[in-house]
Amino acid sequence: MAKIETVSPLAPKGGFPQLPVIDGVRFAALEAGVRYSGRVDVMLAELCDGTTIAGTFTRSSTRSAAVLDCQDKVGGNSKGKAAILVNAGNSNAFTGKGGFDAVASITKATSDALGIDQSRVFTSSTGVIGEPLKWERITAKLDDLKAALDENGISDAARAIMTTDTYPKGSTIEIAADGGTIKIAGIAKGSGMIAPDMATMLVYIFTDAKVSESLLQDMVTRATNETFNCITVDSDTSTSDTLLIAATGKSPAASLQGGTKPCEAFYEGLKSIMLDLAHQVVKDGEGATKFVEVRVTGAASTSDAKRVASAIANSPLVKTAVAGEDPNWGRIVMAVGKSGAQADRDRLTIKFGDITVAENGWVSPDYNEDKGATYMKADDIVISTDLGLGSGEAVMWTCDLTHGYITINADYRS
């Protein structure tokens, strides 16, 4: 499999963060040889008795057997221990009945090994589509995974779920609540086949909060729409996108109740972690060298604003111009026009950062091309478009499109 060997230039400068121990969770990761050799490719998280689990998933009509199995289990019985098992290298998608058999075999073996009800075992698979999953390689390692379980093992788990990622992704926050502190820690993988249609990669978030499944589900659904559903690398939605959040209830803080200040603080903390992870995914976009925020204001409606933001963020012409550090505002005009949203050429205002490039249907009289070109050399770029029609607004995050993306994906299966 072709891979860019150097870490993305947009990776967090401090490297993988120090994530706290979340009471009630233990992790293990090891090499099972599912597809890769010489690297960890399976991770297991064991969750304590009574852990509440919620999630969001891809809306792809060709979603994988693991996604369908998780969707069936989320919202079910929260009694007893639970487990999350993830493999990298093979997505177990478009694999027919064999894919469902593989999920059943893995969940059953995990259930037996850990003494967990099979309905409380959640799995994810990521990697190549359409190849049978060698699930026996995973189940053969369950005893070793069980023996290796460690409350400090989350960083190894983050590395085990990587595919074409150039760095592991983690984020954490602590929240002051009634009676004590609530901790949240999350890990993610993702760098290609990323488009906003619910989670757009694999994400696992762990917290010691006491919270009901219904309230947790409501919060993660809302936060997904403001974070992971606002990113795109290449406009392609994966068959395997999964976000699972597990709340162990081990915090000394009081149970969260909807509509209260502690609950709102928890929601804002959860959303901040999800946004951080979403941005990290974009910054590790295959071949990415620029992180781009697309802001749309003045649209006739929110839905129109989203259409325009998506058209700009997904345009290969816009993304290659950014890669070439070319302030080609004409490509923004093109994207607005093709979006299907209501637009008036003579009301458009386009900015690169704080630089007004075009307004009133023409290049701004104050625009300086040299300043525009200098701005485009930055690692982080903001493209703003005001349609001048209403109050609708939206934001999306994307990256540039470089030769590195082709290098990775032209030889992805080799």
What backbone phi and psi angles, to 5 degrees, belong to 160?
-70, -25
Of the residues 51, 166, 200, 402, which is catalytic? 200
Q: Which residues pair with 8 in a beta bridge?
A: none
How far, in Å, CA of 192 to CA of 241, rounded?
A: 12
- The residue ranges of DSSP E strands in 58-194, in sequence order, are 82-90, 121-128, 169-177, 180-189
Single-letter residue type at 371? K
DSSP notation for 334-348: HHHHHS-S---GGG-
Q: Which amino acid type is present at position 110?
A: T
* Two structure tokens written together for 106: 């893995």
Instruction: Give the largest CA-CA distance in the chain.
Output: 71
User: Quick one: which of 164, 147, 111 has its CA closest to 29?
Assistant: 147
Distances (CA, A) of 34 to 85, 91, 109, 122, 153: 13, 10, 16, 18, 21
Environment class of 71 (CB within 10 Å of its CB; exposed 0-12, middle 13-18, buried 19+): middle
Residues 6+ apart with CB under 8 A from 354: none
- How far, in Å, CA of 42 to CA of 35, rounded? 11
> What six digits make up the tokens of 271?
């959303």
- 98: which residues sit within 8 A by CB, 6+ positions away? 132, 133
Q: Is 200 considered catalytic here?
A: yes
Instruction: Give the active site residues.
Output: 200
